[in-house]
Amino acid sequence: MSAVARTYQKGEIPGVIAINPDICKGCDACKRHCPTGAIQGMFGATHSIDVDRCLSCGQCLINCPFGAPYETSFTVDEVIAKLKDKSVSVVGIIAPAVRVAIGEDFGLPVGTLVTGKLYGAMKKAGFLIFDNNFTADLTIMEEGSEFLQRARHAIFGEKSEHGGEIGPLPQFTSCCPAWVRLVETHYPALIPNLSSAKSPQQMAGTVAKTYGPAVWGKKAEKIYTVGIMPCTAKKVEASRPEFKSAYEYHKQKGDAEAATPYPDVDTVLTTRDLSLLFKKMNIDLAKEAEYGGDSLFAEYTGAGTIFGNTGGVMEAALRTAYAILTGQELKPLEFKPVRGLKGVKSASVTLKDSKYNKEITVQVAVVHGIGANIKPVLEEVLSGTSPYHFIEVMNCPGGCINGGGQPIVGSGSSWLGAVLPWFAWK
């Protein structure tokens, strides 16, 4: 890896994980799960975190047997205050991995899908529901279309429709903020290979504050967006000062609500945070009635739903590419070679490009658990020997379902036990 670059900007949270020295035993369990070697300290001595190397992924937090790592960014009480403020519309942006994990904090079996109950509990708390699957669908349309543009440029010399620069191959996915931070700090030469698409969370914040006012009848300055994520790194992502597209949009229109800059996503709660919020508000998710959402923002496809698992983004992208290239939907609507828990999965698919009446063979790879698996893949790309055209990368083992913000399975104490079991297709 290259020397670490300092990429934090003014106003951006410089990492959200720290280690409590009064609890740390120096056992090195956290080090074994840190993808960048950000944790310092000899075995048996109190450890600390180098914030410039830290990706804020939270894998140290969910894997420490003593509960020494903790989150430094905590906004549960702030969100509750906003929910009680009748002049504000609080929009909850729910990631797909949350709905299969939060139930265990309310006595339901691990892995229980609680979408309807989660919607119901959020409605009772006062949230407007924005399912992040809605913008995961937007993301895959953007990433999939961008990949096809890059591929057609490389193969057929096709020019950009808008005259802009077309990025190189392979294209990397850009939805995982820990992965994006790794590229920025350790492999900056590969920044052009990242998809230019925002993550679903950041797209959701922008949509909620641009199109949302027409749906909810509330000005953008009175819409408070809350990402509800399985991921601690999403807190850093939301704080990045460049993510203020809705403010810029309203400013260009001359709208009054653009007088003071505001972020697209105001704050982020992890799955654990949302569980605590419900408990503070005396809401028992397990007892809530099913609810189906309150706007088109609760509508989505199966492509958005599978984003939470390793391989899900790639499968969704290939479905999209197949439909655009051939004019037909993939049948059956599955691409099983990118499923499963192997650290690096690869596959190829041959598609006929109806625009050029030629076949295209696309080589893809899926990487998760980047601490153990990403380096050889990136070294091939840097050396110009990579066989791949499109690479999905997720920091956490198994994908977002095993994110640093998920409930911690244990016996007797919420801080004891092993990591959340990895849920993925067989």
Distance (Å, whole) CA 391 – CA 181: 16
Distance (Å, whole) CA 148 – CA 160: 11
Distance (Å, whole) CA 426 – CA 264: 37
Residue 195 known to be catalytic:
yes
Q: Of residues 175, 176, 231, 396, which has the active-site annotation? A: 175
Token pair for residue 87? Answer: 């002049």
Q: Of residues 143, 257, 288, 315, which has the active-site annotation? A: 143
Residue 334 known to be catalytic:
no
Q: Of residues 218, 234, 235, 345, which has the active-site annotation? A: 234
Q: What is the DSSP track for 126-138?
A: TPEEEEHHHHHHH
Contacts of 331 (CB under 8 A, 6+ apart): none
Q: Of residues 73, 195, 245, 386, which has the active-site annotation? A: 195
Residue 400 known to be catalytic:
yes
Strand (E) or helix (H) holding 368: strand 358-368
| DSSP-assigned letter for residue 248 | H
Query: Which residue shows structure tokens 């020397």?
Result: 3
Distance (Å, whole) CA 407 – CA 415: 10
Residue 234 known to be catalytic:
yes
Residue 392 known to be catalytic:
no
Q: What share of the chain is helix, strand, coil (3-state, %, to 5)?
A: 40, 15, 45
Token pair for residue 238? Answer: 């939301």
User: Would you call 9 exposed, middle or buried from its count of C-beta atoms within 10 A (0-12, 13-18, 19+)?
Assistant: exposed
Asked whether the beta carbons of 390 and 416 are under 8 A apart, the reply is no
Residue 27 known to be catalytic:
no
Q: Of residues 159, 160, 242, 414, which has the active-site annotation? A: 242
Residue 242 known to be catalytic:
yes
Q: What is the DSSP track for 390-420?
A: EEEEESSTTSGGG-TTS----SSSTT-S-PP
Closest among 230, 234, 178 to 374, alpha carbons compared: 178
Which residue type, as a one-letter code, is found at position 216? W
Residue 161 known to be catalytic:
no
User: Where in the sequence numbering do the catalytic residues fall?
Assistant: 143, 146, 175, 195, 234, 237, 242, 400
